[in-house]
Structure 1
Amino acid sequence: MTAIIAGVGMIPFAKPGASAPYDEMGEVAIRLALDDAGIAFEDVQQAYASYVYGDSTSGQRVIYRVGMTGIPIINVNNNCSSGSTALFLARQAVESGVAECVLAVGFEQMAPGALGVVFPDRPSPLAEFDAATDRLIGDVDLPMTLRYFGGAGKAHMERFGTKMETFAKIRAKASRHAANNPLSVFRKEMTTQDVMGAQVIWPGVMTRPMACPPTCGAAAALVVSKGFAEKMGLDTTVQIRAQAMTTDKLLDPETGDMIEVVGARLSRDAARMVYEKAGVGPDDIDVIELHDCFAQNELISYEALGLCAEGDGEKLVDDGDNTFGGKYVTNPSGGLLSKGHPLGATGLAQCFELTNQLRGKAENRQVDNARLALQHNVGLGGAAVVTLYERITA
């Protein structure tokens, strides 16, 4: 059964301390998605609520503000891929025929500063990732995620000769795209030189703008069956053509490296399954929202998603094939680097952007004649979700 994206909603992302509480943000995103679809909350048969930093049943707290209809509400936490995991579950429910109209909502109310361990009194789910990182990069005194993704960037530089300036070019590109997105937390354009001249976090590897900011925000999507959409007279322009989720395989202690630790293999496997299921290849994709939590991870993701060969990420950047006028437009929204990264909302914000791209409603950041859109969302711990959307014309 075909899964249609009938409605999407998203609020402007904000810095910690500058947003409404999570329940208010989530409510607004849901109401925007309902309005976009043109249906009432009473039509929703199931709901999946994604977040990382919140108490149990925060999803109910959000959704009850919109309505209390007794439907199943499932709370989802898959680290940074939580939003796409909620979408994955909503799509499964529709395609299996279990439900005809399903809500996926993601929200996050984050604190300032780098991410860290919340429950230090129990085993960390990232303990094996930390151990691999210690072995591969040694004693680098940096916060957890900076060690992971900075280490992956450093590994790419050492293996392929990638320059730090290339990561700065990616960050500058993100700022140019975000300048046209009123929902982005950062809209000021930066040049490559601005990024290179910013505060150094890891000498020779990373400056501060190359890391995404902690962000608060919410986004939502309504996934419906084609039959339900036709019965209700809904917009059927955007369908999910293929989707895959992968989790980690054993890290080989002899050949493993930091690029593998941060999920490149997860992404590569999920992308391969999506391409095979849809019968398309990377060259067929028009627009992409990928997981650029760090500029380093955007380049690593180019290669993992098959946009270029392994080691050719720098060439793709230098050739301008990651932006308007090039082979692909990656993160026209500004991505996590500029739009922001409220963990539970990120995957659904990507869905919001790509749905509007395929509808031709992305305004100044519109990709011309976009027909196939690829979404990539990864969370350490870990899970990767890759989704292919298709524009259907009558």
Structure 2
Amino acid sequence: MRFSLVVIAALVALVTAAPPKWHQLTGYTFEQYVADYRKPHMKGSDEYAMREKLFNARLAEVMAFNAQPASYKKGINHLSDWTDVERKRLNGRIPDTKAQLTSAAFEVSAPAGFQAPLSVDYTKSYPPILTAVKDQGQCGSCWAHAATESIESQFAIKSEGELFVLSQQQITSCTPNPDQCGGTGGCAGATAELAFDYVKSAGGITEEWMYSYTSYFGDSGVCSWNSTLQTPFVNVTGYARATRNNDSAVAASLTLNGPQAISVDASHWFEYESGVYNGCNYSNNISMDHAVQLVGYGHDAALNLDYWLVRNSWSASFGEEGFIRLIRDNECGTNVDWITGGGGCIGENNTVWACGQCGILYDVVYPLVA
């Protein structure tokens, strides 16, 4: 009996120690935040003071936002004391706008007469086809994570249940980017399409345990891929892209082919906690700066809103256990500063036309696995 009480007390302590949700933030302090998220800031240091100021400003913003009616809630998470520059590094991906697909790729449209189901949710697939939510850390390797996750999912589908964690680091460190598509490569950004092309040329991607992720603190690392020592586990023969800015094509590709690597404007996602996000505003233009994985769609009955279900790579502390739901709409607008803002490939147009919340319908691809 004594042992049982001790176990129960320990479980209660674990529950009560969880970071607060959006409706529990009154009186929440930076000191509590540092403890909850195990931050290394030393009290009394300049670093502590700087981070505390950032946190207090974000907390005030979150509470003011949540006091107004909205379809989603903002909250506090592990990013709440990061500087704007540190946050920007997370968004290391801007989509590949090349008008012509490579010879290894083809376009996906909705088949004639295709009727999409009312909902799709690959987080509930059995056998599972999604690995655990990852944490890219302070490296702009979102493009590598989205590409790796999509290869994992496609292999699990093709093998009817064999799900393996593949190496994000191999793609981050080894993918060439001579035309500076989506950045200059590694932690400074690239594209999922480049990642798929690299895996094809390299003869495959190995498992994560053979080439583990080391870029958490922002170092891209030198490519140390050796196909003899690090056995290629899954190969890619090409990729397919859903017709740009076409809701029906994206829904069909997602339903028929599985999870997709996508591009989005995530510049205002950092405080998202729950609900259906509708914070991207085309009246102010958007900037697709992040790569994630599209894993479903559905309808929120309480909000009476349709949504896309997206898997992020900012750890499970972000959003709804690492996921975000974006409102499913067909609003369109311009993505600006394509080259000057650090995106696109050298020599491309500086502005592109994108549709869907945060540009979600613009660049939707999945790999073809061998």
Q: TM-score range by the shorter chain?
A: under 0.3
| Structure of greater relative contact order (alpha carbons < 8 Å, 6+ residues apart) | 1
Normalised to the residue count of structure 1, the TM-score between the two structures is 0.26
